[in-house]
A and B are shown apart, each in its own frame.
Chain A
Amino acid sequence: MRYPRKRAVTAVATLVAGALALSACAQGGGGGPKTTNAAPTRTQDAQAASKVKVGTAEDSKGPAAAEPGATKGGTVNMIDRDDFTHLDPARIWLNYYMTASKLFTRQLTEYKLAQDGSLTLVGDLATDAGTTEDGGKTWKFTLKDNIKWQDGSPITTADIKHSFERIYADFTPEGPPYAEEWLLPEGKKYKGPYDGEHLDTVEAVDDKTIVFHLNSPHPDFNFTVAMTGYGAVPKKHDTKEKYDKMPFSSGPYKIVSHVTDKSMDLERNEHWDPATDAIRNAYPDKWHMEFGVQALQSTDRFIADNGADKQTLTFHNPVATERIQQVVGDPELMKRTVQGLTPFTTFYNINNSRVKDVKVRQALISAFPMQQVRQLQGGELGIGKFASTIISPTVLGHEPFDLYGQQTKPQGDPEKAKKLLAEAGQPNPTIVYAYNQTPTQEKVTVAIKTGLEKAGFKVVTKPLNPATYYDAIGKLDNPYDVYWSGWATDWPTGSTAITLTYDGRKIAAQQPNYSHFNDPDVNAAIDKASAIVDPAEAGKAWAALDKMIMEKAPIIPEFYQSYFGLYGSGLGGVKFHPVTGEQYPNDVYVKQ
């Protein structure tokens, strides 16, 4: 999943994505303020987050489980910094747009969010989470009865087939690439359904049954199609490029007005039947969204809690860094917060093409002064928890481990690093550290240089222009040894955490394997894990692979980023969603 690029860049630049974790396992502590004893109303803890399962047909039946104390009616306001640049599902690969789409776009599958933050993959438009009988190469979904578009016409398999075919059109390059790659027969070029050509790999067997024939097995394809990027688009009302401005609703609300960068208003879609929807409660009658509100402004409005702001939430704006102390020190405010780990993890890539000795790479991890790095960015509350694995706690099967003492000695262990360097026969290797030239990163770089030099490294720092940072580190022959990046899983299984970033066969310029890690054993293990159909077993295999990769030290895990947000006192049912890493709209209600 893409996090807002601007925000990801900002994260590179300031590494403060406004993301916070307030749970009490700060190892070594950050520089952040002390937390109050008051618990937030919605804490999605790491244990619950890793509880991801695939539900049954029974789980997929509507209506959604009622939110305790919820009542129907009223208007919920949403304030955030940015407008939704895209509303056409095929052009959505950004968590913020996905959150909004939950109100008016439905997919074949979706996640049911339990009160403890755990997730169950269930059928959304489909009667269940899909079935495969050949190890994930062929997937069958059956559509529910009474699912309708906003004009009352039925949603059919022809619409679903059309939705998957149009992801190949030239005007939808921004969406996720998975189904596009997996549904294309080898050697075939396809440009979408608009010139009358169709894909045989998406087979609408009848009005209710649709079968996907993938070009390779993907046992978690049912997770893939839960992405908004594979949301349903009506064949009859597909306005191609213009669909992005005004999508046709299959969900509980329809868009009644959208003024770019200013506001968006939603009203009930009277043709949405709650009995067909196991996920959405749709309590409010209307949604009013207002854009251009910065994090500090939204935080102040939530703190003041006046007038209509009482019935207001934000999808993405976190509590502004300047107000964290005030919020965590006020038990009343803490009652109106949501928090949890996002799927976004950050790390420092070690360029494996240049730093070839595994002992030197391990020494880099051991010596890395992560505590100082975090302290400079607001501590645990300002950025997140220390990471020591590739797979985030939000992913199915996540197993915690700490091979290099990053949890126990986050300040760095120069003595251990010196030993490793001695074993490598390189007591003073030169390391070129490339970083984004921002004020915060300048300071962080000093801390990193100091920490690594304590272990014997000679550190050469190379500032990079923030505008071209990714271009520079994405070059295969880049002249740097260590550089930062991050990754958000597109769905909570290990495959999206690992396959694109650590499969050596996918190394290419400007692709996400920035560390150029290529290990034949790992590649083989990726193939093996990718073939496991049972999600729980696959989870174990990906967790084992996580450890196997980290033993070879291709990266220096940095943080599991977290989210900490506020909302108005007049709302109930506001939760954190671990897949989008934002506030979740489907159970929100106006307190009467």
Chain B
Amino acid sequence: MYRFLVRRILGAAMILLIISALTFFLFFAIPRDPAAFACGKLCTPETLEIVRRNLGIDEPVFLQYWHWLVGIFTGRDFTYGHCDAPCLGYSFVNQEPIFQALVDRFPTTLSLTFGAAVVFLLFGIGMGMIAAARQGRPADKIASSASLIGASMQIYFVGVLATWVLVDQLQIIERPSYTPLTENPLQWFYGLLLPWLVLSIIFTANYTRMTRSSMVEQLGEDYVRTARAKGMSARTVFLRFAWRGAMGPVITIFGVDLGVLLGGAIITEQTFSLHGIGELSIKAVINQDLPMLLGVILVAATAIVLFNIVVDAAYAFIDPRVRLS
């Protein structure tokens, strides 16, 4: 277990390093000068030079990347002040250290992700199991059709529609907002309820379909037949044997989904005006804010890599045939 974790963490660090380098150098490959963006409509070469210096992009790209890397461990000084370690750079658009911006935004994304995950896992796995247990019956058909409809939906459509109906017209749900859990748990719950539900509609569909097909496959396996032949009840076979075997693919997808959502549910956050990592990333792209872009990409990559490790570890607990070696 220990060796597994060390090996995976080192691998993850290497992946993050490669991603940061790729992002950094690709950013400078685009034809637009980020300084021109902030230079105004009468941008003279002199002004452009000042803006470049202020943005910290007047040095060679390799040197800029080196300074960025070193800053993570030692902190950095900018024209606009000091950035403590771990310094992921300074956003000259937001005028704040990147790490601080990410720390400020992360609780919103975390709350959105985990709240939605609880809902879509419960409903998705539950509906998938019911559909598998009632193969070919009305419950299966309803669950399959509902998941097909859910999978066809888009957040920007369902979100706007749900807000209009439930918030604006019926006024039975509060307008989405984020209140820290520690500040007011009830307000935290009410403020995120609608985004959780909408996000869940889209994700539940995948989990229903995945759980159903996995369960159907497992129910046809030899070991399940053996268990039945030994006289175990259908309930025990279903919940104790088939279910454990079916969860492998579901957990794999869940790990990836969780990583992606933690890296920023861009459309969901935009649709509901939530100020999370997703909103930050879209602004970084629009504003050509390289330090911020690097920051959000690293958060997303870290989340995906981290949850891949967690998923790999979780396999061992679910399926005894898997060993962490």
Contacts and interface: CB of A to CB of B under 8 A. Distances in A.
Contact of B168 (A6, A261, A303, A465): A303
B95 A260 contact: yes
Contacts of B6: none
Interface stretch (B34-42, B124-132, B137-145, B229-237): B34-42
Interface residues of B, number: 43
A153 interface: no
Contact of A173 (B47, B95, B175, B283): B47
A170 B54 contact: yes
B54 A292 contact: no
Contacts of B171: 306
A237 interface: no
Contacts of A260: 94-96, 101
B79 interface: yes
8 contacts: A93-B40, A170-B50, A262-B275, A296-B160, A301-B175, A304-B169, A306-B168, A471-B32
Contact of A6 (B80, B104, B286): B286
A170 B53 contact: yes
Which size bracket describes the interface of A in this complex?
Answer: 35 or more
Contacts of B253: none
A245 B95 contact: yes
Contacts of B39: 173-174
A397 to B, nearest CB: 23
B197 interface: no
A300 interface: yes
A83 B79 CA distance: 22
Nearest to A469: B32
A301 B272 CA distance: 12
Nearest to B78: A241
A577 B103 CA distance: 38
Nearest to B269: A292
Contacts of B81: 241-242
Interface string A189-231: 0000000000000000000000000000000000000000000
A168 to B, nearest CB: 11
B38 A292 contact: no
A570 B31 CA distance: 48
Interface of A: 2, 5-6, 83, 85, 93, 170-171, 173-174, 177, 241-242, 244-245, 259-262, 290, 292-294, 296-297, 300-301, 303-304, 306-307, 465, 467-468, 470-471, 500, 510-512
B295 to A, nearest CB: 14
Interface in B11-69: 30-33, 36-43, 47, 50-51, 53-54
A306 B172 CA distance: 12
Given A173-B39, A177-B42, A297-B163, 10 more contacts: A2-B40, A83-B94, A85-B94, A173-B51, A173-B54, A242-B80, A261-B283, A300-B168, A304-B167, A306-B168
Interface string B79-106: 1110000000000011110000100100
3 smallest beta-carbon distances between A and B, as pairs: A304-B168, A467-B32, A241-B80
B247 interface: no
B180 to A, nearest CB: 12
B36 A471 contact: yes
B242 interface: no
Contacts of B213: none
Nearest to B279: A292
A261 B31 contact: no
A300 B169 CA distance: 10
Contacts of B32: 467-468, 471
A467 B31 contact: yes
A261 B275 contact: yes
A292 B273 contact: yes
Contacts of B50: 170, 173
A88 B130 CA distance: 61
Nearest to A470: B36
Given A260-B101, A261-B279, A262-B275, A5 B42 contact: no
A241 B79 contact: yes
Nearest to B46: A173
Interface string B294-325: 00000000000000000000000000000000
A292 B47 CA distance: 30
A296 B41 CA distance: 28
